[in-house]
Amino acid sequence: MPKDNKEIAREVARQYRDYINPDLARVMRVTGLGTVEDHASGCFVWDNEGRQFLDMAGGYGVFCLGHSHPKIIAAVKDQLERMSLSSKVFFSQQQAQLAQELARITPGDLQYSFFCNSGTEAVEGALKIARLRTNRPVFVCTEKAFHGKSTGGLAVSGRPNYREPFEPLMPEVRRVPFGDIEAMRAVVDEDVAAVIIEPVQGEGGINVAPDGYLPALREICTAKGALLIADEVQTGFGRTGAMFAVDHWNVVPDIMTVAKALSGGIIPIGAVIGTRDVWQAFKGRPLIHTSTFGGSPLACAAGLASIRVIEEENLVEKARISGEYFLAELKKLVSAYPDICAEARGLGLMLGIEFTEEKYAGLIIAELSRQNIIAVYTLNQPKVIRFEPELAIERQHLDRTIVCLKEALQNAREFFANR
Ligand SMILES: Cc1ncc(COP(=O)(O)O)c(C=O)c1O
């Protein structure tokens, strides 16, 4: 007998428990949506029971182009029929073209790309290249930062409970509060290989760099001969209402890391992009850092199509306009519920609400999911929920989110008042 949808959901949860990770299965049952994802299109995801969810989380920054964009699917299908993974013994036209496109759209003199498959691999590559280029031992990073969970990425990330079980990690890491330029000035010296920074901290709670901070940091790095690494894994490709978040402040880093939206939401890909000077690191040792799958023809075809769509569909400008509108609406709600909400903040369509207490965040996410809207926490700051929908999201969906959020806030107020 064919299984019904509820049975399938129970079976998948059981398989998670028995074959993936028992504790993860439990957490997913409590905090997740409880059913099984089935298909997705634009700003919607459907579960296996046919319920349609408005995706206001956007895969933590992956789905700038929405789900299943037809132009990316067409480009990937075409490439799939020809060749998906590289032989690694020929030149790859797709990889060469994507590198040239990244040089065109990234700021200043960023020029060379190394391709990998994820954000943390891009960060890992950036740290290694910075060390090679400078011959210096120290990295500077910021509190609450998130740069991934490989050992290098973890070493420069903020949240102690992800990091400490694996220590000792990279030994010489200096950590300073995000946004405090004097703290930076105090630790960046001639031993520092690089400062790594997210222009808008994503997992740290949607923290936008204060005006003047990144330009001043650029100056400090230049003065001390340290490289500036901008981690644009989450902020890149229009998410913040500029092609890259550093563009808001006209800052050109020495190295940039990208991933998430470069995939067009279809095939994973990441990249480290550096200047001609930084790429001296590879001189005489071109194979010192490599990846078997990185920069496959299939992933690069997705990346090329993705950049084309972002430009053709004017997604950066759409994100800027929708972001301003949505943030203004979120701020009205924050003013109406000051007992629950501390602040609404963000840039473009990378927005968050900080609650006065952690307990509200969980309840609001659950209330929104009950109303078929997906929203998520930020990993390193669980008092904050964030909204990162597709960049072309229509006004009606933003308005619906505000209406549902208002109801959720009202319910949360009543729920905790009666305890
Ligand atoms: C700024 C930043 N860097 C790095 C990463 C790690 O990316 P991945 O999960 O693809 O390894 C993330 C993931 O959220 C991120 O937001």
pLDDT of residue 1: 59
**Which listed residue (144, 260, 318, 383) is catalytic?**
260
Domain match, 287 and 360 both: no
Domain match, 297 and 222 both: yes
Residue 48 belongs to some domain of the structure? yes
Q: What is the distance in A from the centroid of ligand 1 to the CA of 260?
A: 8
Task: Give residue-wise pLDDT tens across range 340-383.
Answer: 999 999 999 999 999 999 999 999 999 999 999 999 988 888 89
Domain match, 221 and 308 both: yes
CATH number, position 387: 3.90.1150.10
**Which listed residue (53, 55, 139, 231) is catalytic?**
231
CATH number, position 180: 3.40.640.10
Tokens at residue 246, please?
Answer: 């550093």
Asked if residue 244 has pLDDT above 80, the reply is: yes
Residue 34 belongs to some domain of the structure? no
Cβ density class 332-356: b for 16+ within 10 Å, e for less: ebbeebeebbeebbbbbbbbbbbbe
Confidence of residue 35 (pLDDT cuts 50, 70, 90): confident
Asked if residue 394 has pLDDT above 90, the reply is: yes
Number of separate domains in the chain: 2
Among 288, 312, 336, where does a domain finish?
A: 312
Asked if residue 23 has pLDDT above 80, the reply is: yes
Domain match, 123 and 253 both: yes
- Best residue among 118, 120, 142, 178 to mutate for probing ligand 1's pocket (most ligand atoms within 8 Å of CB) is 120
Share of the chain above pLDDT 90, in %: 91
User: Region 108-130: what's the mean pLDDT?
Assistant: 98
Residue 16 belongs to some domain of the structure? no
User: Region 268-272: what's the mean pLDDT?
Assistant: 98
Q: What is the distance in A from the centroid of ligand 1 to the CA of 284?
A: 30
Asked if residue 417 has pLDDT above 90, the reply is: no
pLDDT of residue 29: 80
Among 312, 342, 371, where does a domain finish?
A: 312
User: Region 92-116: what's the mean pLDDT?
Assistant: 98
pLDDT of residue 379: 83
* Cβ < 6 A, ligand 1 pocket: 60, 118-120, 123, 146-148, 198, 202-203, 231, 233-234, 259
277 is catalytic: no
Q: Note down the domain range covering 393.
A: 5-10+42-61+314-417
Q: What is the distance in A from the centroid of ligand 1 to the CA of 407?
A: 32
Task: Give residue-wise pLDDT tens across range 169-219.
Answer: 998 999 999 999 999 999 999 999 999 999 999 999 999 999 999 999 999
Domain match, 371 and 256 both: no
pLDDT of residue 2: 62
Among 268, 292, 312, where does a domain finish?
A: 312
User: Region 99-120: what's the mean pLDDT?
Assistant: 98
User: Region 70-91: what's the mean pLDDT?
Assistant: 97
Q: Please identify, by atom number, the ligand 1 atom nearest to the C-alpha of residue 268.
A: 10
pLDDT of residue 380: 83
Domain match, 357 and 303 both: no
Q: Please identify, by atom number, the ligand 1 atom nearest to the C-alpha of residue 234.
A: 16
146 is catalytic: yes
Is the pTM higher than 0.85? The answer reads: yes
User: Region 79-103: what's the mean pLDDT?
Assistant: 97
